[in-house]
């Protein structure tokens, strides 16, 4: 799926699914988002840097207008 981040956000991220990074800037724009096998939604900034959200966290961001689902 593709999502649009409507304003620049600083999100907690992972690199290579192992290391937790300090928060990373996700500038306003469109991003690829995937459903993981464990039921989380990952938003990909680069091939290596990803932010993970539970479904309820993702839904909250959509409700607040911070994320817009562009294509599912």
For residues 26 and 37, give the distance between their C-alpha atoms in angstroms, rounded to a whole number.
23
**Residue 43 in contact with residue 53, Cβ under 8 Å?**
yes
pLDDT attached to residue 59: 95
| Six token digits for residue 15 | 């690199």
Whether 19 has a pLDDT exceeding 70, the answer reads no
What is the mean predicted confidence (pLDDT) over 15-37?
Answer: 83
pLDDT cut 70: percent of the chain above it: 92
Q: Where are the domains of the chain?
A: 2-71
pLDDT(17) > 70: no
For the residues 38-63, what does the mean pLDDT come to?
A: 91
Per cent of the chain over pLDDT 90 is 61
Phi and psi torsions of 61, nearest 5°: -60, -40
């Amino acid at each position: 799926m593709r999502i649009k981040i409507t304003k620049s956000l600083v999100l907690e991220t992972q690199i290579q699914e192992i290391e937790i990074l300090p928060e990373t800037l996700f500038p306003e724009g469109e991003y690829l988002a995937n459903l993981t096998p464990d039921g989380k939604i990952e938003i990909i900034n680069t091939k290596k840097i990803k932010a993970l959200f539970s479904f309820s966290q993702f839904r909250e961001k959509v409700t607040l207008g911070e994320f817009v689902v562009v294509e599912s």
